Structure 1
Amino acid sequence: MFKKMLALMLVLLLMATALVGCGGGTAEEPAPAEEPTEEQVEEQVEEPQLKMAMVTDVGGVNDESFNESAWNGHQKARDELGFEVSYVESEQDADYERNLETLLDAGNDLIWGIGFMMGDAIAEAADFNPDQKYAIIDSAYDDTPDNVVGVLFKAEEASFLVGYIAGKMTETGKVGFVGGMDFPVIHGFHYGFMAGVKYANPDAEVLVQYADSFVDAARGKAIANQMYQQGADIVFHAAGGTGDGVIEAAREQDKYAIGVDMDQNHLAPDNVITSAMKRVDNAIFMIAEDLKAGNFPGGQTVVFGLEDGGVGIAPTSDKHVPAEILEEVAEVERQIIAGEIFVPDNKDDYDANY
């Protein structure tokens, strides 16, 4: 038995020797694996995906206004910054608290409330959940909680510019303003627009009416029709979904309208001559950038205006506004940024300066 095993071992040894000879060289042991550098280890560790979500106000995410713009900002953060994003729609004010709780339970790093009507709900949620980060569009607090950032816009500046356009383009000497609800945020649109009209055309008359709703398109249409019947040929709205009715009235009456928040020319290409844009999308994206960089501006109110691209007029304005007027608007914008033109955002400042 021992002899058989020895013979077998000799055969195997001879076969191994023959294989090495056929290979033209000796077999080499594999080199030991190199230890990864510290930089390579850091590259292999994936950054945790940040989650950001928003609660719409009652206008819904497809309101062609600031809710939709806010969602566009979220999607940009998803595409360019790698955020996981989502939203919950509110059908009535009573939904705000429940919707905020839903997004809290979902583990979002930052939760947005879209619109000043959510101001109280965000403040309460932030108080109950001090470790959760929140942000609110169009609202500010006297003492902003450390876990909240308020975001405001100088809507009066964009409104002044579209008011200037209306004052220059009116053929009847009469234009209109339709506000959603009689609140300070809308006053900026109201008095900025009136000041712009006055600056361009001191003799022009501005008809003003509030609809007491951001979601009543029929009401907006009725108000606009009345203004057109009274001689207005251009009507500016700052009324959310209610403003859809203003634009519909302009289309039916073959008059002009001015949109708000987003470029609304596509709603009536022959009738919407410009829009006072409030770049909610840009603001949300910039706050998301701060969050990702570890610089969340909690406890602050951030204000965006003409100077930083937070507001402006629609890029489609050149479809209906003459080039010479747009050149004047560009100069007016420069003067506003330089502080050479005062733009009011309330009645007292308007009355005192215009």
Structure 2
Amino acid sequence: MMKRMMSILLMLMLVFSLTACSGGSEPAASTNEGGSDAPAKTRVAIVFSGNLGDKSYNDSCYAGALKAQEEFDIELKTLEGTEAAEWEANFLAVAEEGYDLIICSSSNFEEYMKEHCANYPDTKFAVIDTTVEGDNIVSVSFAQNQGSFLAGAAAALFTKMSDIEGVNDENIIGWVGGMDIPVLHDFYTGYEQGAKYVDPDITILQSFAGTWNDPLKGKELTLAQYQQGADVVMNVASGTGTGILEAATEAGKYAIGVDLNQDGDQPGHVLTSMLKRVDSACYLLIQSVVEGTFEGGSKQYLTIADNGVSLTDMSVMKEALGDQFPDEILTKIQELQDKIVSGEIVVENYEGFGPNN
């Protein structure tokens, strides 16, 4: 008990020292003005392993929370952090504050949840993008391998269109991730399968930036892949990914966005985006607490068939290319999607991922 208390005190001291850079919003008062007997609002906290404003994963999660706040009138607090020490400190801070629901936005919180959630049995916890066992935990993960399969196939089809400006006659594509963690390997596993389904001999370049928050690093890695012959590079890097998309415009090449629809971020240079409905996951988790349907110890796995992942309709690229846009890509992607849903194509997972994990 003493060890646990010392750990909590140390973490709270750290989070107070980091308040200025956390970006967190203070919770509204939980009681109503005038001493009303109306029930207190449901209190929800979200801890992020990165910053808002990434136009990707974190912003998608936050969008779902804002929708829930508007519809259910919840009290919402967010805490951002870019380093492991901040993540644990923020997690412990909101756990000690007694929120009704604490949402851990990514797999970066997995070890802290395993260590601490059982110490707060009256608090409901949720984690997105991984599975953590616990009677007061709900886990939501995605078949990002299926979505990435479609993205890889699209990249492999597009790199053959050498009549389009910026596309060479080499069959080389790229992929740049943020942190080197298992969930990103699940992304890459699907991307590689999709590309090789189209062209077994295609070359795929892979790089990890080692961070979610360094656009310059993302740009550097992407430009290097373009110099090695890649025409299309997929972004799976949250805030680092803005640099990946910028590199596409700078080099006169192409990229694939991730999580949110990033097609319009660099118009004419983002072929498509792999949508990952983190917003829906966050919204549904909050709704379950508000409506009393939260089931601790459960897990959800959202696939293409569940509308958990998909590609955009490429309308921005179609407008940019005009008559040069290869409509056969859309036809082929729809065909592949239907085959995944029917089970004719089974996309493999990275070890430890999938509906049974």
Instruction: Check conservation: 2:175, 2:204, Cα contact below 8 A.
Output: yes
Instruction: Check conservation: 1:113, 1:136, Cα contact below 8 A.
Output: yes
Partner of 1:270 in structure 2? Answer: 268
Please tell me whether residue 161 in structure 1 is matched to residue 150 in structure 2.
Answer: yes
Partner of 1:145 in structure 2? Answer: 134
Query: What is the alpha-carbon distance in structure 2 between the residues aligned to residue 82 and residue 334 of structure 1?
Result: 39
Instruction: Check conservation: 2:269, 2:317, Cα contact below 8 A.
Output: no
Please tell me whether residue 329 in structure 1 is matched to residue 333 in structure 2.
Answer: yes
Number of matched pairs:
303
Of 279, 282, 301, the match for 1:281: 279
Partner of 1:74 in structure 2? Answer: 65
Deviation at 1:53, TM superposition (A): 1.7
Partner of 1:205 in structure 2? Answer: 203
Instruction: Check conservation: 1:273, 1:317, Cα contact below 8 A.
Output: no
Instruction: Check conservation: 1:263, 1:315, Cα contact below 8 A.
Output: no
Partner of 2:117 in structure 1? Answer: 126
Instruction: Check conservation: 1:220, 1:242, Cα contact below 8 A.
Output: yes
Instruction: Check conservation: 1:275, 1:317, Cα contact below 8 A.
Output: no
TM-score, normalised to structure 1's length?
0.80
Change beyond 3 A, Cα 1:176–1:302? same
Partner of 2:311 in structure 1? Answer: 313
Of 75, 84, 89, the match for 2:80: 89
Letter in 1 for 2:43: K
Instruction: Check conservation: 1:259, 1:274, Cα contact below 8 A.
Output: yes
Instruction: Check conservation: 1:53, 1:74, Cα contact below 8 A.
Output: no
Letter in 2 for 1:324: E
Letter in 1 for 2:265: L
Change beyond 3 A, Cα 1:220–1:338? same
Deviation at 1:318, TM superposition (A): 5.6
Larger deviation: 308-317 or 273-282? 308-317
Query: What is the alpha-carbon distance in structure 1 between the residues aligned to residue 158 and residue 314 of structure 2?
Result: 16
Provide the secondary structure at the position in 2 that maps to 1:267.
Answer: coil
Of 51, 56, 72, the match for 1:60: 51
Provide the secondary structure at the position in 2 that maps to 1:265.
Answer: coil
Letter in 1 for 2:327: A
Deviation at 1:315, TM superposition (A): 4.4
Give the superposed CA RMSD: 2.2
Query: What is the alpha-carbon distance in structure 1 between the residues aligned to residue 352 and residue 103 of structure 2?
Result: 32
Cα deviation per residue 1:102-152 (whole Å; 9 max; x = unaligned)? 3234442101111111111223331211111111111213xx111111111
Larger deviation: 94-103 or 328-337? 94-103
Cα deviation per residue 1:258-306 (whole Å; 9 max; x = unaligned)? 1111111232112111111111000111222222221112112211111
Provide the secondary structure at the position in 1 that maps to 2:249.
Answer: helix
Deviation at 1:52, TM superposition (A): 1.4
Query: What is the alpha-carbon distance in structure 1 between the residues aligned to residue 316 and residue 349 of structure 2?
Result: 27
Query: What is the alpha-carbon distance in structure 1 between the residues aligned to residue 106 and residue 55 of structure 2?
Result: 14
Change beyond 3 A, Cα 1:346–1:91? closer
Of 26, 33, 42, the match for 1:50: 42
Instruction: Map 1:242-261; keep pairs closer than 5 Å.
Output: 242-261=240-259
Instruction: Check conservation: 1:178, 1:223, Cα contact below 8 A.
Output: yes
Query: What is the alpha-carbon distance in structure 2 between the residues aligned to residue 61 and residue 55 of structure 1?
Result: 11
Deviation at 1:316, TM superposition (A): 4.5
Partner of 2:231 in structure 1? Answer: 233
Higher CA-based Rg? 1
Letter in 2 for 1:128: N
Instruction: Check conservation: 2:47, 2:78, Cα contact below 8 A.
Output: yes
Of 166, 173, 176, the match for 2:174: 176
Deviation at 1:211, TM superposition (A): 2.1
Of 99, 116, 119, the match for 1:108: 99
Change beyond 3 A, Cα 1:229–1:91? closer
Instruction: Check conservation: 1:153, 1:311, Cα contact below 8 A.
Output: yes
Cα deviation per residue 1:10-60 (whole Å; 9 max; x = unaligned)? xxxxxxxxxxxxxxxxxxxxxxxxxxxxxxxxxxx8554212120110x21
Deviation at 1:170, TM superposition (A): 0.5
Query: What is the alpha-carbon distance in structure 2 between the residues aligned to residue 333 and residue 125 of structure 1?
Result: 40
Query: What is the alpha-carbon distance in structure 2 between the residues aligned to residue 85 and residue 278 of structure 1?
Result: 23
Instruction: Check conservation: 1:73, 1:282, Cα contact below 8 A.
Output: yes
